[in-house]
Amino acid sequence: MVKLTCVQLLMVAFQATLITMSSAELPYNFYSSSCPNAEETIKNTVYNLIDGNPSIAAALIRMHFHDCFVMGCDASILLDSSNSNPQPEKSAIPLAGYEAVDKIKAAVEAVCPLTVSCADVLAFAARDSVSKSAGFSYHVRSGRRDGNVSKAFSVVTNMPSPFFGIEDLVGSFTRKGLNVDDLVALSGAHSIGVAHCSGFTNRLYPEVDTTMDSAYATDLKKTCPAPVRGAPDPVVNNSAVAPTTLSNQFFKNAVARRVLFTSDAALLTRNDTGAKVQENAADSLLWKVRFAASMVKMGNIEVLTGTNGQVRKFCRTINS
């Protein structure tokens, strides 16, 4: 992983802060008095978890994205099923990383009980996953509260699909207060993590999508056979190049027509999004600034603050 210089790191954090200052509502350093060691505790725990399992970085970033897009950044994605709510969000989509969140929350609870919300834990953990896997960081606004409602149907109606074309993608992001800059920048997270074959075999069978590099398709078919009902659903790396390093590699892959999802390839089908893909592929630092700014902006989607919601003791259940 290429490390940025101190000056470059400061530039990413500073420029991302400037970009998001006018629209953000949450404050920085929300826990400076109530739990001054919160962010350091979370960072240390996240780093240790990723040292033990590098895939945790992608899982925590993805978890924050899914949480924010479904019902706002309220940690509703973390709630388990219960007698009163048998079908929460997590029942609608398979995600990794829940056990990691449990460990992070336990660590911060040990320092400051019932102080740091699970929604903020997700935002901090995503930022620290970026820092660990990409070598740059950014300031995170905080003060979110945890929601008490989690419904599976909300996933279907709110999450952008990997089968979306460009207009559906733009519309999905627009409804959340995000724009094409955010859509393209955040897509860079597909430089790490894995994907199930079922998410992209539509581009392999019955014929290879003409927008996919043929050699790449041949390699994918070795792991992903034609879909058969009831058959296993293997996984492949989102990126064949440096799959545990968050970087602008996704955009290089996109230009080379070596990305997995219909939604990934769709970024090149419109002039404005296609131009941003090219820019991000050519300029790693530019993408880092854009990505950081979009992560901060995304973290402000439909947040609960003040007396709304609660601060859960355990992220999987609402307080009794």
Answer yes or no: is 190 a known binding residue: yes
Answer yes or no: is 160 a known binding residue: yes
Residue type, 21: M
pTM for this predicted structure: 0.91
Nearest to 109 by CA among 119, 99, 121, 97: 121
Please list the ranges in the chain whose pLDDT falls under 70.
1-24
Of 64, 66, 139, 196, which residue is the catalytic one?
Answer: 66
Answer yes or no: is 74 a known binding residue: yes
Report the 3 state secondary structure along the chain: CCCCCHHHHHHHHHHHHHHHHCCCCCCECCCCCCCCCHHHHHHHHHHHHHHHCCHHHHHHHHHHHHHHHHHCCCCHHHCCCCCCCCCCHHHCCCCCCHHHHHHHHHHHHHHCCCCCCHHHHHHHHHHHHHHHHHCCCCCCECCCEECCCCCHHHHHHHCCCCCCCHHHHHHHHHCCCCCHHHHHHHHHHHHCCEEEHHHCHHHCCCCCCCCCCHHHHHHHHHHCCCCCCCCCCCEEECCCCCCCCCCCHHHHHHHCCCCCCHHHHHHHHCHHHHHHHHHHHHCHHHHHHHHHHHHHHHCCCCCECCCCCECCCCCCCCCC
Q: Which pLDDT belongs to residue 17?
A: 52
Answer yes or no: is 76 a known binding residue: yes
Q: Which pLDDT belongs to residue 1?
A: 41
Tokens read off for 61: 């970033």
Answer yes or no: is 259 a known binding residue: no
Tokens read off for 179: 């724009």
Q: All domains of the chain, ordered by start, with CATH?
A: 37-157 (1.10.520.10), 160-297 (1.10.420.10)
Q: How far is CA 56 from CA 49, 110, 119, 130, 320, in A?
A: 7, 22, 17, 11, 30
Answer yes or no: is 67 a known binding residue: yes
Q: Is 66 a catalytic residue?
A: yes
Q: Which pLDDT belongs to residue 320?
A: 85
